[in-house]
Chains A and B, each alone.
Chain A
Amino acid sequence: MWILFERLGASFLGTLTDLGRVGVLLARIVRAFVALPKSIHLVLHQMRIIGNGSIPLVLVTSIFTGAVATIQAHYQFQDYVPIRFLGTVVAKSVLLELGPVLTALVVGARVGASIAAELGTMRVTEQIDALEMMAIDPTRYLALPRFVAACIMLPVLTIFSNAIAIGGGFFVAVFTLDVTSKTFSDGLRFLFETQDLWGGLIKALCFGAIIALSGCVHGFHARGGAAGVGEAAMRAVVMSSLLVLVTDYVLAAVIFQVLFG
């Protein structure tokens, strides 16, 4: 019994430590922003890695997300809701929730793990110490470019995801559910609010920050060789996934009840 409490306590303290490290790193990144012009080439490089590299993953995820959302909505509408609302529901759910959150989860798994593994390897092979020895701030040189690139590319990937998901939904509705293209398109436009799109993009920007911070924190604190790097990558993915879901709730409350309420 005591062992259980000890483990729970240790896990709780570990989580608090990780969150504290995220806070400290964020503060350092904010302080390093004055040196952003010096790191533009690094930001562009990271944007290519995060953005271009994630496109195939986001493409496949989004097509099936839109397709499944359409089939599920169509099934639930039967006998209760007019089918002209199908496009409306698909658009709303994709723009507000599915696009930003699923993009963040899949990109978070790919990019968060990649950042943690790369920085973790640099940590255990003393490359980060070498940077420090050369009087190059690792926060400015390694974390800042990844943070800025993720904050820019997540909204871009989310816009791409939204378009593909809605396209996937349209395709399934028209070709498998006998919904006319006009009915689906009218539904898309019906009740469309620009703030739905903006709300989703604000979420995506925050998710980008979470993914970069999770990867950087666990990479910078990796210890003990290959096993340590593997664990850092795993913890980065777990942390970014959980924080994305928790932050999604907080942002939903803030954006749609306070800001656009």
Chain B
Amino acid sequence: MSQGIVIQGLHKRFDDNVVLDGIDLRIERGEQRVILGRSGQGKSVLLKLLVGLLEADAGSIVVDGQEVTRMRREELYQLRRRFSMVFQGGALFDSMTILENVGLGLQEHTKLSDGEIRRRAEEALATVELVDVGSKLPSALSGGMRKRASLARAIVTEPDYILYDEPTTGLDPITSDAINRMIRRLDDELGVTSLVVTHDMTSAFTVGERFTLLNDGCVCFEGTADEARSSTDGPIRQFIDGNSEGSLECN
């Protein structure tokens, strides 16, 4: 059984808008992959297709040898228990305290005692350097703290894969750097495979080993961080430089 994620000929459209037009991608286990692209190029859609939150129009997604696109609901739930996702806005449950948010996955899927769940949730919060916020509601936290709480919720269930959807969007540069370093540290410590969707190049170079650039529904660059950094022309150079003139046209 092949490990990692293999995507072949993946298509997705919303009405007349073709978002993914037959992309092929291979992500090895333990890899830190960054998916780059301008807004609206299907980066977040790709993440949601990976775990069956959206249905692909055509193509294949194989995770650790299992075909995702043909999975039934129950099989998808089994698969998702090996994944976690940090959403763009955090997606913390606003009617629950931070501790309840972080502990929910354990409460639903394990037979651990309430005390043990609490201990593990507090430990996960400490790992992302959040202390004394467990009893607070998400609305009482700053954007950076919400992102970190979301990160704690993602790691507490010890997943094999963590998907990050624009983890630093809307944060100031200092907080962004703290989040990036935290992601990198967690990836190294926990040995998870991570997919980070971003258009923030500082974030990309901090957290990523390999880069994939999406444009017009296709993969237009794939390579290591060093290859991306040393490229002198082409779409990846244009994207790194943030140049509006080139093959990556502004919509």
Contacts and interface: CB of A to CB of B under 8 A. Distances in A.
B202 to A, nearest CB: 24
B91 A134 contact: no
A227 interface: no
Interface string B152-175: 000001000000000000000000
A129 B108 contact: no
A135 B81 contact: yes
A132 B91 CA distance: 12
A130 B93 contact: yes
B143 interface: no
Contact of A129 (B91, B94, B157): B91
Contacts of B120: none
A186 interface: no
A135 B91 contact: no
Contacts of A132: 53, 80
B109 to A, nearest CB: 7
B68 interface: no
A135 B78 CA distance: 7
Interface string A109-124: 0000000001001100
A133 B108 CA distance: 13
B89 A133 contact: no
Given A135-B77, A135-B81, A130 B109 contact: no
Interface string B48-79: 10010100000000000000000001000110
A122 B94 CA distance: 9
Nearest to A141: B108
Interface residues of B, number: 24
Given A129-B48, A129-B53, A130-B85, A136 B91 contact: no
Contacts of A133: 51, 53, 80, 83-85
A108 to B, nearest CB: 22
B91 A125 contact: yes
B105 interface: yes
A122 B101 CA distance: 14
Nearest to A140: B108
Interface in A2-29: none
Contacts of A131: 93
A135 B94 contact: no
B87 A134 contact: no
Contacts of A137: 73, 77
A136 B108 contact: yes
A160 to B, nearest CB: 27
A131 to B, nearest CB: 8
Interface of B: 48, 51, 53, 73, 77-78, 80-81, 83-85, 87-89, 91-95, 104-105, 108-109, 157
List 6 A-B pairs, minimum CB-CB distance, nearest first: A130-B91, A135-B77, A126-B91, A135-B80, A133-B85, A126-B87
